[in-house]
Amino acid sequence: MNILGISISHESNAALFMNDNIVASVAEERFTRLKMDMRYPKNAIEFCLNYGAINSSELDYVVLATEEDFPEQYIVNRIATFSVEDFVREQNEYWKPRIFENNKVDYLKVFSDKIKNDDFYDLSKFIDTNMTSEEISKEFLDIRKDAVEKHLNIDNSKIKTVKHEKAHAYYGFYANPLREKTLIITAEGFGEYSNSTVSVFEDGEIKEINHTKENHIGHLYKFITLLLGMKPNQHEYKVMGLAPYANSKEVEKASRVFADLFELDGLNIKLKERPDDFYFWFKRKLEGCRFDGIAGALQSAIENITLKWIKHCCKQLNLSNVVFSGGVAQNIKVCQLVGELDEVNKIFIAPMPGDGSLSAGACYFMLDKIYGQNNMDKSLIQPVQNVYLGPEYSKEEIDTAIRESHITKRFKIVDNIDNVYVCEQLIKEKVVARFSGRMEFGQRALGNRSILANPKNPRMIQKINSKIKFRDFWMPFTPTILKECEGQYIVNPKKLESPYMTLAFNTTKLFQEKAPATIHPADDTTRPQILIREKNPKFYDLLKRFKEKTGIGCILNTSMNLHGEPMVCSPKDAIHTFLCSDIDILVFDHVAIAKI
């Protein structure tokens, strides 16, 4: 059974399942080099088919994630191209007149300067249209289906669709190895029929038992991110990273604005007192509050209501296994606290729980349906085994990229390298970019498109933030930890699995001494990749050697990209990142380029 999943969303992506297993998945941004690219994922689709060595006629199904959507944001490629100033203009010139002045404003006239045609389909019919909202949504779905039919030259009957929320829920559950009775929670800023769902996996079925459009925790986080001068739908993680630095006085001051904003409503969350809107209302109320206090108060409010919600669901439904999916599940500090609840036995957050995994969720939804129709055991549906699902490049392709970059005369070329060489450089406190094997799926670098450094030196945080990643000074870095060192380094009494950097943990005094560059300086937490050799043998062996030489069973690991750019995909991308930053050494499997 060959199933292709496609998501045209905040981070357009594609996934391929063959023989009921995911074999490839990648976001369009990795090929176009436009972060959060929302356009039709032509390159991602073609990569998946090429990797699977199949043509489109061999596909049994193509499943589109998200049925009801509106084309305006795609016409301007909103999430990918808007600056902070554009998002503020959206509030002032579009939403403010609509909400407070009762004026009907044409979104595409406000942003006529941002309109660009998608090379793959024509959305011009939605400019100056008289169609109703329902007509627009239906027509946009038809256009997307027609684009798939034309691109892949397949019969329209093979093209299926799945609701946005369902794709999140089915991915969240089936990507994890648990096949026991499980609570499945989704929460995000905006979906189709909801922004939050509650489902249960029991007796081989996922049954949605609650949904609402009134759970605005993701919505709130997005707008506070904008009010703090950062990009919504991209920089929420910066607000989360800033929150622990706030002092209690500033948090208390801002907390008055968020106090009693939410309450439980059955098995979900609703607003206790609805604000006029989520931008101007909070802008007024938070006037005079300091930026760090706002971040701390927001994070605390989201943590408190989410813990209360999930605790309530576990008690009411008599469940202790939890799957969390959707954009809010990317808040690792919330997930850490959920995992610590007495009511929770196991929690699983799949790699890339936001919109970047919708194509994989569409495939899992289709598999679930097929298994059900054929009375097959759904517990046999395979989870995601690893995240190395993207492109890889041959020695010849790497050598060609090096030659065409004309860098061999400017830097030292080291041939026939191995982990001995890489380990030596890390011990010398060099910053090493590692390009190896298949690219990771999702936003987390897990060794194959990674920037690596010695975790012992806390000065690495400033060096990598300011001269390599060019990102905010307060952002911490993460470790990859050998599985055998996990018990010594992190506080994890429930033995929760953390192979994908989707959970945070408190750290031990020993780890704080050995790897201070990989913990959050304000609260001593860390977001680790716990590595076993079967997942990535070459990378594991590097860590093993580093431990043998230093006594430290981890390495600082962050994604190989410049701030505002997607993670590196190709050798050309890696060389670009190397040249535009203070990375000391770029390492491929057979050769290294060194600035020393």
pLDDT, mean of residues 152-164: 97
- Residue 473: which pLDDT band, with cuts at 50, 70 and 90? confident
Residue 596: is its pLDDT beyond 90? Answer: no
Per the confidence metrics, is the pTM higher than 0.85? yes
- Residue 49: which pLDDT band, with cuts at 50, 70 and 90? very high
Mean pLDDT of the chain: 96
Query: Among 252, 270, 251, 249, which Cα is nearest to 261's?
Result: 270
CA separation for the pair 31, 41 (Å, rounded): 9
**Domains of the chain, CATH where assigned:** 2-80+108-166+360-380 (3.30.420.40), 176-349 (3.30.420.40), 395-594 (3.90.870.20)
Task: Give me the pLDDT at residue 359, please.
Answer: 98
Q: Which two tokens stand for residue 62?
A: 């193509």
DSSP 273: S
- What are the φ and ψ backbone dihedral angles of 207, each rounded to 5 degrees? -120, 120
pLDDT, mean of residues 362-383: 96
CA separation for the pair 225, 243 (Å, rounded): 12
Task: Give me the pLDDT at residue 201, please.
Answer: 97
pLDDT, mean of residues 461-486: 92
Q: Which two tokens stand for residue 593?
A: 């380029």
Q: How far is CA 560 from CA 34, 97, 198, 286, 515, in A?
A: 15, 42, 36, 36, 20
Percent of the chain with pLDDT over 90: 95
pLDDT, mean of residues 341-369: 97
pLDDT in tens, 261-301: 999 999 999 999 889 999 999 999 999 999 999 999 999 99
Q: Which amino acid is at 472?
A: D
pLDDT, mean of residues 134-154: 96
